């Protein structure tokens, strides 16, 4: 349940997106929202899945919506959130499924109002960020493939009963 204030904020954020011509085009273009894309990774054989916020198939665009408290900080903070990895993974999945290289954009809305509006910007990753993201997700997939193959999961630790709990269980 939203409060009236939260509803007003969401409406103003929506109006801010729609005031940007490309933002309006992204929102209003025919496409598929929250549709999963599946493909088998050719190197590892792993079944992969991504779920873009919106696919605009006529133009081979993928849009993902993000919010941020500080839209200027997003220009570098994206790296900490691995959005460059998301871009590369989703783009490669789209290409594997549809045979086209998509244009991937982040529609970013600030959650902090300025002059009665919420700043909105649309970003694309540079080629260096896309390549770094691809290298990173390839490493991640290779690690997953090794764990699946060996049935060894080094990041998962086993918890055994403490000695006192074993004594209580046997009492």
pTM over 0.85: yes
pLDDT at res. 38: 98
Whose tokens are 């904020």? That residue is: 9
- Span 133-140, mean pLDDT? 98
The percentage of residues in the chain with a pLDDT greater than 90, rounded to a whole number, is: 85
126: domain CATH number is: 3.90.320.10
Per-residue pLDDT tens digits for 43-59: 999 999 999 999 999 99
CA distance 119 to 111: 8
Residue 151 lies in domain: 4-170
Count how many domains the chain has.
1
């Amino acid at each position: 349940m939203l409060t009236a204030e939260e509803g007003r904020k969401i409406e103003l954020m929506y109006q801010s997106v729609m005031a940007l011509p490309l933002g309006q085009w992204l929102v209003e273009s025919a496409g598929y929202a929250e549709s999963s894309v599946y493909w088998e990774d050719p190197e590892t054989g792993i079944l992969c899945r991504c779920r873009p916020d919106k696919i605009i198939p006529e133009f081979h665009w993928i849009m993902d919506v993000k919010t941020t408290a500080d839209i200027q900080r997003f220009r570098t903070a994206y790296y900490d959130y691995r959005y460059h990895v998301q871009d590369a993974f989703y783009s490669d999945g789209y290409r594997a499924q549809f045979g086209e290289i998509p244009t991937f954009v982040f529609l970013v809305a600030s959650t902090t109002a300025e002059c009665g509006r919420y700043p909105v910007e649309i970003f694309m990753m540079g080629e260096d960020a896309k390549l770094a993201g691809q290298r990173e997700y390839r490493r991640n997939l290779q690690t997953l493939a090794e764990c699946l193959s060996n049935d060894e999961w080094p990041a998962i630790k086993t918890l055994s009963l403490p000695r006192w709990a074993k004594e209580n269980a046997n009492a």
